Structure formats: structure tokens, C-alpha cells
């Protein structure tokens, strides 16, 4: 199957699963539920849950076991997007070509919708733990522990990114921001899928390295797109990072050097999983997709 078709199939699967978790009932919080659904189902690449599933399928075929964790991570991701777009942080008006949540529903509702999605992620995992068999519990608790710590690191990375706006920082500080802000969740996704599939420690080391590299590559590409992307394709304004004096790979190294670093890191990520042969073909293509994407 061609990569683009396989990616589309994964995206459709994730969307179907997310639909099952959206609160549909009529109640006093109807507008809040609508706000949560608005962002969760707005589209997007669904890269994080796809990474969970594709890491899992390196070792096992039946993906039911990893699906709740794939869905939960997408809820967390959308929580972070809603809050990132707020006036106090990135102050963005558009996301995926649509009004951002706070522009559509108001700032207070958007904040609470983000909170609601974060909590829904923990509910999704707790419900899975409740019905798991004894043999899986220890493994899933390990995954849940990593889940909580990665979300904590993502929030910390966002904080540092905001605090360092307009300041001159070192290359190490820039990498720290990106490793936590974006990389923490992407690394978590790969590790969750692999651990849930019962991989060996050797496998986990290789896949963690792959995940760390594509996580950094993803953020570098975001920095590049913020500098020279197509607004119509991106679905959001270009140039916000520069306007807000954010610390990026482009501001630190220049556009061309950032592209060189991106290409090198992508190659290193692919090299880490060459040992898996054809079974890792999708993960290799995913690394190239991150490098070459236009949104």
C-alpha cells in the first residue's frame, strides 16, 4: 500500500475512534462539549496517535490494546493547541483554516474546553485500566506513568518558550524548548506503542532515539514553515514566530542552516530503524513526511 493511502486509512480510523468518545448528550454544558468537539474534530495530521499504532504494529498486529492510548494522546494534543492559540500565548486567529477555539466560542470557554480535553484523555486511560486483565496491568501502568510525565514536560516546554520570547538564548536552551514542547509527546507516542506491544529494551532504545529525532525534526519544520510556508495551505498566518520574537531554529541558525539540520536529523532517525527492514517502512516514510510536509 502506498504511504499516502496508508496514512489516510490511519487518519480515518483515528477520526472514527475519536467520534466514539465525544460527549453527544444534551446538557447544561452543551456549548462546552461543542467547543471541545470543534477542536478535536477540526482535522489535522493525527500524527501522534498514528505513531502509537505504527510503533505497536512493528511487533503485534491487533491494535485494540493500544487504541485508547492513541486516542488519549490526540486529546492532549488538541488541549495544547487550544491553549497555544490563546491571546496570552500565541494569539492566533486561525487553525486548520478555521477560527481558533477562542475566536469561535470565547476565551473562557476555550480555556475550559482545553481543560476538558486533557481530563477526557485521563478518563479514557482510566477506563481502559479498569477493564484490563491482570497480565496487562503492570505494563499499562508503566505507560500511564510515562504519559503523565510527558504531558508535564510538554507544558514546561510551552512555558519556557513563552518566557524566552524576545530573549537571546543558547543552542542548548533552544533544543531544551523543542525537546519538551514538541518532542516529549512524539517520543511518548512511539514508546507507548512499543511498550504496549511488549518490545525488548533494545527495541525501546532504538525507537526512543528515532522518536527523539523526529520530534526535533517536527519542530524545526514548524519553525521553517512559520518563516516561508503558504498561509492557504497551512490554514494559519505565517510570520507569527518572527513577529513575537520567538526562539526558533530559523532565528538561531538562519533558514538554510535550519533546513540542513532538518535533513540530517531525518536521516539519522531513519538509520535508527533500518534494522527492522520492511516492517519499519511506514515509520521511515513518516520521518520523510515530517521533513517534507507543507502544513
18-37 pLDDT, tens digit each: 998 887 666 788 999 999 99
Domains of the chain in sequence order? 3-20+28-292 (1.10.600.10)
Q: Cβ distance 184 to 158 under 8 Å?
A: no
- Is the full-model pTM beyond 0.75? yes
Q: Residue 37's Cα: distance from chain center in Å?
A: 18
Res 235: pLDDT: 58
Determine the average pLDDT of the residues in 43-60: 95
Res 154: pLDDT: 94
| Total residues belonging to the chain | 295
3-state secondary structure at position 119: helix
Cα-Cα-Cα-Cα dihedral of 162, 163, 168, 173, to 10°?
Answer: -80
Q: Cβ distance 267 to 186 under 8 Å?
A: no
Res 236: pLDDT: 57
Residues whose CB falls within 8 Å of the CB of residue 186, separated by 6 or more in sequence, listed in order: 47, 48, 51, 211, 214, 215, 218
What's the pLDDT tens digit per position in 217-226? 999 998 899 8
Res 97: pLDDT: 85
Q: Cα separation of 274 and 219, whole Å? A: 23
Partners of 98 in the β-ladder: 95
What's the maximum distance between 2 C-alpha atoms anywhere in the chain?
A: 54
Res 33: pLDDT: 93
Phi and psi angles of residue 95, each rounded to the nearest 5 degrees, phi first = -150, 125
What's the pLDDT tens digit per position in 233-270? 665 565 566 656 677 888 889 999 999 999 999 999 99
DSSP state of 27: S
Where residue 44 falls (left for φ over 0; alpha for ψ -120 to 50; beta otherwise) is left
% of the chain at pLDDT higher than 90: 72
Q: Cα separation of 153 and 155, whole Å? A: 5
pLDDT band, very low/low/confident/very high, at 292 (cuts 50, 70, 90): very high
Identify which has the larger pLDDT, 188 or 161: 188
Partners of 99 in the β-ladder: 94
Amino acid at each position: 500500500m502506498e504511504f499516502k493511502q496508508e496514512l489516510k486509512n490511519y487518519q480515518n480510523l483515528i477520526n472514527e475512534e475519536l467520534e466514539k468518545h465525544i460527549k453527544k448528550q444534551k446538557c447544561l454544558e452543551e456549548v462546552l462539549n461543542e467547543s471541545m468537539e470543534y477542536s478535536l474534530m477540526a482535522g489535522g495530521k493525527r500524527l501522534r496517535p498514528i505513531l502509537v499504532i505504527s510503533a505497536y504494529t512493528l511487533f503485534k498486529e491487533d491494535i485494540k490494546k493500544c487504541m485508547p492510548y492513541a486516542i488519549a494522546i490526540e486529546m492532549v494534543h488538541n488541549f495544547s493547541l487550544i491553549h497555544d492559540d490563546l491571546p496570552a500565548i500565541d494569539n492566533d486567529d486561525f487553525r486548520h483554516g478555521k477560527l481558533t477555539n477562542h475566536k469561535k466560542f470565547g476565551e473562557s470557554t476555550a480555556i475550559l474546553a482545553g481543560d476538558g480535553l486533557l481530563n477526557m484523555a485521563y478518563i479514557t486511560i482510566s477506563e481502559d485500566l479498569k477493564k484490563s486483565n491482570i497480565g496487562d496491568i503492570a505494563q499499562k501502568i508503566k505507560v500511564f506513568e510515562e504519559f503523565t510525565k510527558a504531558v508535564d514536560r510538554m507544558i514546561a516546554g510551552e512555558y519556557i518558550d513563552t518566557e524566552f520570547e524576545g530573549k537571546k538564548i543558547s543552542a542548548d536552551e533552544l533544543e531544551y524548548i523543542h525537546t519538551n514542547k514538541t518532542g516529549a509527546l512524539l517520543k511518548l507516542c512511539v514508546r507507548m506503542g512499543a511498550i504496549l506491544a511488549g518490545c525488548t529494551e533494545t527495541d525501546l532504545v532504538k525507537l526512543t532515539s528515532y522518536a527523539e529525532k523526529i520530534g526535533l525534526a517536527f519542530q524545526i519544520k514548524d519553525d521553517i514553515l512559520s518563516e516561508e510556508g503558504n498561509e492557504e495551505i497551512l490554514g494559519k498566518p505565517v510570520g507569527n514566530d518572527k513577529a513575537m520574537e520567538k526562539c526558533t531554529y530559523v532565528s538561531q541558525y538562519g533558514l538554510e542552516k535550519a533546513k540542513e539540520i532538518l535533513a540530517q536529523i531525518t536521516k539519522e532517525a531513519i538509520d535508527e530503524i533500518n534494522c527492522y527492514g520492511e516492517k519499519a517502512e511506514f515509520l521511515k516514510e513518516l520521518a520523510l513526511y515530517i521533513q517534507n510536509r507543507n502544513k
